[in-house]
Structure 1
Amino acid sequence: MSTSILLAGVLFGAVGVGYVLYGRKQRAPLPLVSGVALMVIPYFLSNAVLLFVLGIALAVLPWVVRL
C-alpha cells in the first residue's frame, strides 16, 4: 500500500461520511449511496490513479445530478 492510496482513502472516506450524514438527514438517496461508495472503494482499489478518478467522480456526482 502506497502513501497516495492511504491519503486518498482518508480523504474520500471523510467526504463519504459527510455525504452519508447529509443523505440521511435530507432523505436523499443519491448522496447516501455516493457516500457509502466513497467509503468502500479504497478497500477494493489498489491503483492510485483509478482511485482518484473514481473518487472524484463519486464526489462530484451529487452536485451534477440533482434529483
Structure 2
Amino acid sequence: MNDTLLELQALGLELPSPAYIFGAIVFGLIGLVAWRLGRKQGNRRQLWLGVALMLYPYLVPGTVWLYAIGLALCGGLWLSR
C-alpha cells in the first residue's frame, strides 16, 4: 500500500488532509442550505452563493484557500440576508 501512495505522489496526486475534507463538507452543507432557502424565498443572490459554496471545493487545491474562499462566500451570504 505504501508503494501505491508513493507512485501516486510521484504522479502529482495527493490525498486531501482531514482539515480539507472537513471544510469541504461543512461549506458544502452550508451551500446546500443556502441554495434551498434561496430557491424557496426567491432570493437569487443567496441561491447562487449557495451553488458557489457547494462547487468551489472541487476547484481549490489548498486547505488555506478552501477556508479563505469559504469564509468570504459565507460573509457574502451573511450580507445578503
Tell me the TM-score normalized by structure 2.
Answer: 0.76
Does the 8 Å CA contact 2:46/2:80 hold for their aligned counterparts?
no
Which protein, 1 or 2, shows the higher relative CO under an 8 Å CA cutoff with sep ≥ 6? 1
Task: Measure, in 1, the Cα distance between the counterparts of 2:80 and 2:32.
Answer: 19
CA contact (8 A) 1:5 1:46 kept: no
| CA RMSD after TM alignment | 1.1
- Rg larger for: 2
Structure-1 separation of matches of 2:52 and 2:37:
14
Once residues 54 and 35 of structure 1 are traced to their aligned partners in structure 2, the CA distance between those partners, rounded to angstroms, is 13
Question: Does 2:37 align with 1:5?
Answer: no
Runs of 5+ consecutive residues of structure 1 not aligned to the other structure: none
Matched, 1:57 2:69: no
Aligned pair count? 66
Give the Cα–Cα distance (whole angstroms) in 1 for the partners of residues 69 and 33 of structure 2. 17
The amino acid that maps onto 2:40 is: K
Gaps of 5+ in 2: 1-15
Normalising by structure 1, we get a TM-score of: 0.91
Runs of 4+ in 1 over 2 A off after TM superposition: none
